[in-house]
Amino acid sequence: MNHPPIRTFHPRRGRMGPRHADAHTALWPAHGLLIEDGDRSPLDLDELFGRDNPKVLEIGFGMGDTLAATARADPGRDYLGIEVHTPGIGNLLALIQDQDLSHVRVARGDAMQLAHRLAAGSLDAIHVYFPDPWPKARHHKRRLIQPGNVALLRERLRAGGILHCATDWPDYAEAMAATLDADPGLEPVDRDRAGRPETKFELRGTRAGRPITDLRYRRRTC
């Protein structure tokens, strides 16, 4: 008997305001990508972006402000963000329009389904900023940073590529570090935010008195 995959996210629908809806209508055909369950067809990122620059994947970009700020400061790399929150998707599309971020693409769906469709070594970096901590012990199996997921993401990085994770939940930070340390294809770089803009989730965690942990790992070159 086949069981449905364990989701690492809550399906989140929401109503888009006029600005976001207009941006979605105008930009989705050129900048949007729907990730459908069960689709394992290869995805050519150079074709998606129309150029062969280094590629960065951001998983769970929220409202997209951090991704937009990072991409704006880094025009030499292409940015693909994936999210399930429809207002966030609409907001990032509006930011693309307002800030002329032609090197950003927006995917909707399951990030691990997307990862299965990417070629090995096709990414320069992967950003996982403040994923759902699933704080209840019985839900820990839904956390994104699990050994199997990390192995898949690491394979999508080029040799020397960076996996950058951040969280404001101390127990998740410990679990993340243990999982990343245990992956034989990764080596720790540092715990520096490395110019990562502050996110709304981070600000919320700071206000609640939770420490912020950044974990940066490099795919080993041999």
Please report, in range form, the residues annotated as the binding site for S-adenosyl-L-methionine.
58, 83, 110, 132
220: exposed, middle or buried (Cβ count in 10 Å: 0-12, 13-18, 19+):
middle
Task: Please work out, in degrees rounded to the nearest 5, the angle formed at the alpha carbon of residue 182 by the alpha carbons of 111 and 147.
Answer: 30
Q: Which long-range contacts (C-beta less than 8 Å, at least 24 apart) are formed by 19-25?
A: 19/90, 19/94, 20/87, 20/90, 20/91, 20/93, 20/94, 21/90, 22/94, 23/90, 23/93, 23/94, 23/96, 23/97, 24/89, 24/90, 24/93
Binding site, by residue number, is: 58, 83, 110, 132, 136, 168, 199-202
Catalytic residue of the set 44, 65, 132, 181: 132
Nearest C-alpha neighbor of 119 from the set 190, 43, 199, 174:
43
- Whether residue 100 lies in the annotated active site: no
Nearest-angstrom CA–CA distance, 206 and 202? 6
Nearest C-alpha neighbor of 65 from the set 45, 35, 87, 48:
87
Q: Is residue 112 helix, strand or coil? A: helix
Nearest-angstrom CA–CA distance, 60 and 44? 21
Give the active site residues: 132
